[in-house]
């Protein structure tokens, strides 16, 4: 077996194919149109550099109104998906609409993609983005004690790694700088991707798999973690979610997991909007 019960690359590819009959061109076109409207409808700081490379940029969507008892708004940092090798922050502006209306500033992060950079650099940039938000809180008009994170797919994986980051040892920042993490359809065990169609893009080494699989790492941030996947996704997303939830529970981490009905790997993003549960969960991180 290559991984779990999968004996061939074809089996792994099917199990980790998030499109499952979707037309990616139509899907991304819809996201871009909605995101363009979001950027036009909110007070923004676009393309803010958080590091020296061109890829290290984030779009800030400033809160409509900070909490009444705190003129500095909470901030939520979002990491996009794309299997670590496609898309950017610009396709995902649409997820901010209801968060900013509730008084939360949102930073939508861009990062370099594989194979243009090694996997380790992609992870470093994600860490640098959170460090920047925390250390530049005064300039951004946010409360550095009120930072939460979320991510979708590959972004969910990055959020899990951020919870395993040695913030004090590496960045000189408090290990409790993140108030809560929402990992949406995340991947927590990288082993199958070494055998998949993604490997020529990701170029994962054995060391990468060991060092960047959250399932094998200690969680260093003492904050609430919410894990979610869609019931219409491949069963592997739910299995990985459950395995990571158990891993966190064994460390006495405050973790909950939920399989949301009637949503797939992409429609699950609608839970950032309208009657979706993500806004209430993220607000809960800041209560």
Does 3 reside within a domain? no
Band (pLDDT 50/70/90 cuts) for residue 218 is very high
User: What is the distance between the alpha carbons of residues 122 and 230, in angstroms, rounded to a whole number?
Assistant: 26
Does 2 reside within a domain? no
pLDDT at 30: 97
Boundaries of domain holding 161: 9-285
As beta bridge partners, residue 255 has 225
pLDDT at 124: 98
pTM over 0.95: yes
Does 1 reside within a domain? no
Does 266 reside within a domain? yes
75 closest CA partner among 123, 134, 154: 134
pLDDT at 179: 98
DSSP helix/strand/coil, 269 = helix
Per residue in 132-141, pLDDT tens?
999 999 999 9
DSSP 8-state class, residue 23: -
Q: What is the CATH number of the domain that holds 58?
A: 3.40.50.1820
DSSP 8-state class, residue 274: T
Band (pLDDT 50/70/90 cuts) for residue 142 is very high
Per residue in 143-188, pLDDT tens?
999 999 999 999 999 999 999 999 999 999 999 999 999 999 999 9
Per residue in 91-110, pLDDT tens?
999 999 999 999 999 999 99
pLDDT for 20 beyond 80: no
Does 98 reside within a domain? yes
Does 250 reside within a domain? yes
pLDDT at 19: 84
pLDDT at 100: 96
pLDDT at 112: 98
Q: How many domains does the chain have?
A: 1
Sign of CA dihedral 19, 90, 178, 143: negative
| Helix (H), strand (E) at residue 265 | none
pLDDT at 275: 87
Rounded-to-5 percentages of helix, strand, coil across the chain: 40, 20, 40
Per residue in 43-92, pLDDT tens?
999 999 999 999 999 999 999 975 555 579 999 999 999 999 999 999 99
Helices 119-135 and 154-163 pack at an angle, to 10 degrees, of 60
pLDDT at 66: 59
Does 95 reside within a domain? yes
User: What is the distance between the alpha carbons of residues 281 and 287, in angstroms, rounded to a whole number?
Assistant: 10
Per residue in 229-269, pLDDT tens?
999 999 999 999 999 999 999 999 999 999 999 999 999 99
DSSP helix/strand/coil, 48 = strand
CB 49 within 8 A of CB 124: no
Does 258 reside within a domain? yes
């Amino acid at each position: 077996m290559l991984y779990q019960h999968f004996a061939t690359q074809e089996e792994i590819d099917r199990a980790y194919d998030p499109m499952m009959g979707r037309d990616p061109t139509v899907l991304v076109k819809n996201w871009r149109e909605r995101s363009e409207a979001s950027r036009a409808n909110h007070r923004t700081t676009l393309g803010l550099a958080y590091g020296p490379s061109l890829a290290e940029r984030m779009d800030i969507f400033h809160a409509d109104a900070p909490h009444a008892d705190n003129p500095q708004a909470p901030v939520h940092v979002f990491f996009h998906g794309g299997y670590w090798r496609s898309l950017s922050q610009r396709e995902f502006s649409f997820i901010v609409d209801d968060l900013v209306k509730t008084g939360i500033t949102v930073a939508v992060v861009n990062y370099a993609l594989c194979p243009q950079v090694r996997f380790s650099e992609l992870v470093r940039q994600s860490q640098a983005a959170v460090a920047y938000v925390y250390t530049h809180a005064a300039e951004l008009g946010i409360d550095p004690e009120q930072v939460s994170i979320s991510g979708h797919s590959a972004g969910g994986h990055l959020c899990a790694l951020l919870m395993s980051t040695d913030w004090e040892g590496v960045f000189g920042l408090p290990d409790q700088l993140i108030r809560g993490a929402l990992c949406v359809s995340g991947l927590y065990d990288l082993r199958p991707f070494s055998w998949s169609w993604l490997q020529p893009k990701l170029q994962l080494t054995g060391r990468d798999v060991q060092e960047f699989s959250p399932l094998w790492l200690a969680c260093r941030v003492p904050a609430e973690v919410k894990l979610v996947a869609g019931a219409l996704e491949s069963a592997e997303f739910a299995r990985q979610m459950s395995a990571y939830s158990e891993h966190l529970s064994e460390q006495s981490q405050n973790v909950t997991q939920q399989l949301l009905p009637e949503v797939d790997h992409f429609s699950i993003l609608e839970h950032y909007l309208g009657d979706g549960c993500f806004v209430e969960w993220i607000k809960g991180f800041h209560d």
